[in-house]
Amino acid sequence: MLGPIIETFIGGLLTGILYSLVALGFVLIFKASGVFNFAQGAMVLFAALSLARLSEVMPLYIALPLTIAIMVALAYAIEFLVLRPLINQEGIILFMATLGVANFLDGFGQTVWGSDIYKIDLGMPKNPIFIFESVFPGGLLIDPSELIAAVICAVLVVVLAIFFQVTRVGRALRAVADDHQAAQSVGIPLNQIWLMVWAVAGIVALVAGMMWGAKLGVQFSLALVALKALPVLILGGFTSIPGAIIGGLIIGAGEKLAEVILGPVLIRAFDLAGGGIENWFAYVLALMFLLVRPQGLFGEKIIERV
Amino acid sequence: MTAHSTEQQREAAATPPPATVAMDRAQAAPAPAAASILALNNIEVVYNRVVLVLKGVSLSVPKGQIVALLGANGAGKSTTLKAISNLLHAERGEVTKGSILFDGNEVHNLSPNELVRRGCIQVMEGRHCFGHLTIEENLLTGAYTRADGKAAIKRDMELVFSYFPKLAERKNALAGYTSGGEQQMCAVGRALMSRPKMILLDEPSMGLAPQIVEEIFEIVKDLNDKEGVSFLLAEQNTNMALRFARYGYILENGRVVMDGDAKSLSENEDVKEFYLGISGGRRKSFREGKNYRRRKRWLA
């Protein structure tokens, strides 16, 4: 019994890392501009679509930099057309604007690249690895592509954390997040900062899209993965990069374990059909967190002087 | 009615304004531009393309001086400062007329960051520290535009700490948790970190205890004396501002209605009436003061 549970747990953690990658894009933009970027999911889809279609006609090592260029150009377009005219507006107005961007990108991606299911082949090993065969009968099954995703994610997080905490630009990003106008008054150029952060978020979206795409195939439902990032953010805190990672891990592992452990209990106790727990568990967890600790596990405390 | 007529008599009997006070800006030439670090020439500011807020403001700040910009709420003090520092754009405001010269160059189309680079920085009304950054990090953001290396920035940090010893004590505290006075010091210190030639200081006394206000003004004076930083100081606390400034302009309804050196302004009968609430050597009741002001404004 213990073997499968540990296996589920590890599988959940590795899926969770992928949630974290999506959540990371949200956190970056939220930290720097105070905007909840609803378009992050659409950016993941757009990046994955671009990469999938480009890699059909050229080798991956050319398609990848080209997709990065596309994401940077996209960031530039969003900054110029959407954010710049709305500078210093209420958060909710910017949020609505990103909602528009999300819908546009969903459609536009299909207009440009088509709406079938496409493949991304990263050439990662597909064969599952078995570990601890001596401890558990049959060993534990691990998907190596998820393991690689986890490593990439970890590297990305460390780099970003250092960038935000230590560098001059990172500090400026945090300052902008706190107070646009004050940041402007001390000479921090808002437009450049936003351009930078949307470009970075675009690249993070590309990494997430690449990993998810390789796992599930590139299709419209990829944009919906972003919805899973919401409970991750509520759990980890909207402003914390480590929070996005830990939140992703908790949600990923939690929902898989709930399916395996809670499912049979519900079936037995209430004579329910069971199943589907994976779909709602994350949201219930997020709701409970909202009640108890609204800033999330690692979010910035809401500063209020009395 | 009787109150009204005594008012008129008093006005008629009031001593004529000193020679340095120019009542009509349209005719008075702006102060000589040669030695001035900042010169505004007849600027007009429009918000949302319809609301005319500044109706032709001219003023100049001589190099190395503190100049006060006085006036009641809504007179246009903050708008004037934001017009200079180019922060208006974010509030849908626009300079539609006139010219702004900083250090001899037209700056009216520059971005705020370019202006900071050239040495003109604003400390906004209400302090606006970055609440989630520590005091030290706040100060460092002030040095964003500088490219002269870490050592120089570190030196200036020490300089700021020597002027504001309180900030040194609290340098690792999140700015959001510090007191109002500390936040104001942080805001001024942050501006200093950009090595400015001139600071546009908007209402530093806002919401602070008189002692703290006094302390901050003393430091401003000190910075002006020792570091040679020029200040354009927008204040409602007329009394305090005129004690520390050398020259003053009084704004009303988006126009400069009076200017002169600080001493003559604080002795001027009208200023006493309107802004200091004293006349004939005694403090007037609020009711009287208002009445008088309303009539006077209509005349102006």
Q: Taking residues B188-213, what's their average pLDDT? A: 94
* Mean pLDDT estimate for chain B: 84
Whether residue B252 is predicted with pLDDT greater than 50 in this model: the reply is yes
Q: Would you state the pLDDT for residue A306?
A: 53
**Residue B62: which residues within 8 A CB-CB, separation 6 or more?**
B31, B35, B36, B37, B230, B247
Position with higher pLDDT, A194 vs B193: B193
Q: Taking residues A84-93, what's their average pLDDT? A: 80
Q: Does B207 touch chain A (CB under 8 A)?
A: no
CA B33 to chain centre: 19
Work out the number of other CB atoms within 10 angstroms of the CB of residue B150.
Answer: 10
Q: Taking residues B81-94, what's their average pLDDT? A: 89
Strands B278-279, B105-106: parallel, antiparallel or unpaired by DSSP?
unpaired
> Nearest CA to CA, how far is A56 from chain B (Å)?
44
B60's enclosing H/E stretch is strand B51-62
Q: Taking residues B265-274, what's their average pLDDT? A: 82
Interatomic CA distance for residues A24 and A41, integer angstroms: 11
Interatomic CA distance for residues B40 and B58, integer angstroms: 5
User: Which of B56, B52, B30 has the alpha carbon at shortest distance from B42?
Assistant: B56
Say if the Cβ atoms of A186 and B91 lie within 8 Å: no
Mapped to the 3 state alphabet, what secondary structure does B164-226 carry? CHHHHHCCCCEHHHCCHHHHHHHHHHHHHCCCCCEEEEECCCCCCCHHHHHHHHHHHHHHHHH
Residue in the block written with tokens 């952060």: A197
Residue A42: C-alpha distances to residues A48, A50, A213, B64 (Å): 10, 12, 13, 54
Position with higher pLDDT, B184 vs A85: B184
Interatomic CA distance for residues B262 and A1, integer angstroms: 87
Q: Does B123 touch chain A (CB under 8 A)?
A: yes
Q: Does B222 touch chain A (CB under 8 A)?
A: no
Sign for the pseudo-dihedral over CA of B226, B229, B230, B233: negative
Type of residue at B145: T
Per the CB < 8 A criterion, the answer to whether B102 and B120 are in contact is: yes
Quote the longest CA-to-CA distance of chain B: 70
Say if the Cβ atoms of A87 and B191 lie within 8 Å: no
Instruction: State the CATH architecture for B18-131+201-267.
Output: 3-Layer(aba) Sandwich (3.40)
Interatomic CA distance for residues B139 and B153, integer angstroms: 10
Nearest by CB to B144, from A87, A172, A300: name it: A172
Quick: pLDDT tens for A119-140. 888 777 777 777 777 777 777 7
User: Which of B276, B291, B274, B269 has the alpha carbon at shortest distance from B6?
Assistant: B291
Interatomic CA distance for residues B245 and B234, integer angstroms: 11
Q: Would you state the pLDDT for residue B31?
A: 46
Say if the Cβ atoms of A182 and B128 lie within 8 Å: yes
Residue ranges covered by each domain of chain B:
18-131+201-267
Q: Taking residues B27-38, what's their average pLDDT? A: 60
Stretch among A106-110, A284-288, B287-291 having the lowest mean pLDDT: B287-291
Residue in the block written with tokens 């069971």: A274
A25 exposed, middle or buried (CB, 10 Å; 0-12, 13-18, 19+)? buried
Q: Taking residues B199-212, what's their average pLDDT? A: 93
Measured between beta carbons, which residues in chain B are less than 8 angstroms from residue A187?
A: 112-113, 115-117, 121, 142, 144-145, 194
Whether residue B9 is predicted with pLDDT greater than 90 in this model: the reply is no
Nearest by CB to B111, from A189, A303, A305: name it: A189
User: Which of B165, B178, B164 has the alpha carbon at shortest distance from B133?
Assistant: B178
A88 exposed, middle or buried (CB, 10 Å; 0-12, 13-18, 19+)? middle
Strands B66-70, B51-62: parallel, antiparallel or unpaired by DSSP?
unpaired
Question: Which backbone phi and psi does A139 adopt, to 5 degrees?
Answer: 75, -175
B162: its two tokens: 């020597």
Q: How confident is the model at residue A305 (pLDDT cuts 50, 70, 90)?
A: low
Position with higher pLDDT, A149 vs B155: B155
Whether residue B244 is predicted with pLDDT greater than 90 in this model: the reply is yes
* pTM score: 0.78
Residue in the block written with tokens 């090993």: A125
Tell me if residue A301 falls in helix, strand or coil: coil
- B255-261, strands of its sheet edge to edge: B120-123, B198-202, B230-235, B66-70, B247-252, B255-261
Q: Would you state the pLDDT for residue A98?
A: 92
Q: How confident is the model at residue A275 (pLDDT cuts 50, 70, 90)?
A: confident
Strands B278-279, B198-202: parallel, antiparallel or unpaired by DSSP?
unpaired
B89 exposed, middle or buried (CB, 10 Å; 0-12, 13-18, 19+)? middle
Residue A100: C-alpha distances to residues A20, A107, A225 (Å): 24, 11, 18
Q: Taking residues B135-150, what's their average pLDDT? A: 94
Nearest by CB to A188, from B90, B113, B191: name it: B113
* Mean pLDDT estimate for chain A: 86
Angle at B271 between CA B266 and CA B273, to 5 degrees: 120
Q: How confident is the model at residue B23 (pLDDT cuts 50, 70, 90)?
A: very low
Dihedral of the CA atoms B233, B237, B239, B242 (nearest 10)?
A: 10
Nearest by CB to A88, from B90, B115, B117: name it: B90
Tell me if residue B72 falls in helix, strand or coil: coil
Interatomic CA distance for residues B269 and A42, integer angstroms: 67
Q: Would you state the pLDDT for residue B286?
A: 57
Residue in the block written with tokens 């690689």: A148
Measured between beta carbons, which residues in chain A are less than 8 angstroms from residue B130?
A: 174-175, 178-179, 182-183
Q: Would you state the pLDDT for residue B242?
A: 93
3-class SS shares of chain A: helix, strand, coil, % to 5: 75, 5, 20
Say if the Cβ atoms of B130 and A185 lie within 8 Å: no
B121: its two tokens: 């920085």
CB pairs A-B closer than 8 Å: 85
Interatomic CA distance for residues A124 and A42, integer angstroms: 25
Stretch among A220-234, B71-85, B162-176 having the lowest mean pLDDT: A220-234
pLDDT > 90 fraction of chain B, expressed in percent and rounded: 66
A61: its two tokens: 């090592």
Quick: pLDDT tens for B103-142. 999 998 899 999 999 999 999 999 899 998 999 999 999 9
Residue A175: C-alpha distances to residues A32, A183, A203, A233, B89 (Å): 8, 6, 22, 21, 20
User: Which of A293, A286, A284 has the alpha carbon at shortest distance from A230?
Assistant: A286
Q: How confident is the model at residue B17 (pLDDT cuts 50, 70, 90)?
A: very low
Whether residue B10 is predicted with pLDDT greater than 50 in this model: the reply is no
Q: Would you state the pLDDT for residue A297?
A: 83
Mapped to the 3 state alphabet, what secondary structure does B90-116 carry? HHCEEEEEEEEEECCEECCCCCHHHHH
A192 φψ region: left (φ > 0), alpha (ψ -120 to 50), beta (else): alpha
Whether residue A209 is predicted with pLDDT greater than 60 in this model: the reply is yes
Per the CB < 8 A criterion, the answer to whether B266 and B276 are in contact is: yes
Interatomic CA distance for residues B113 and B121, integer angstroms: 9
Whether residue B159 is predicted with pLDDT greater than 80 in this model: the reply is yes
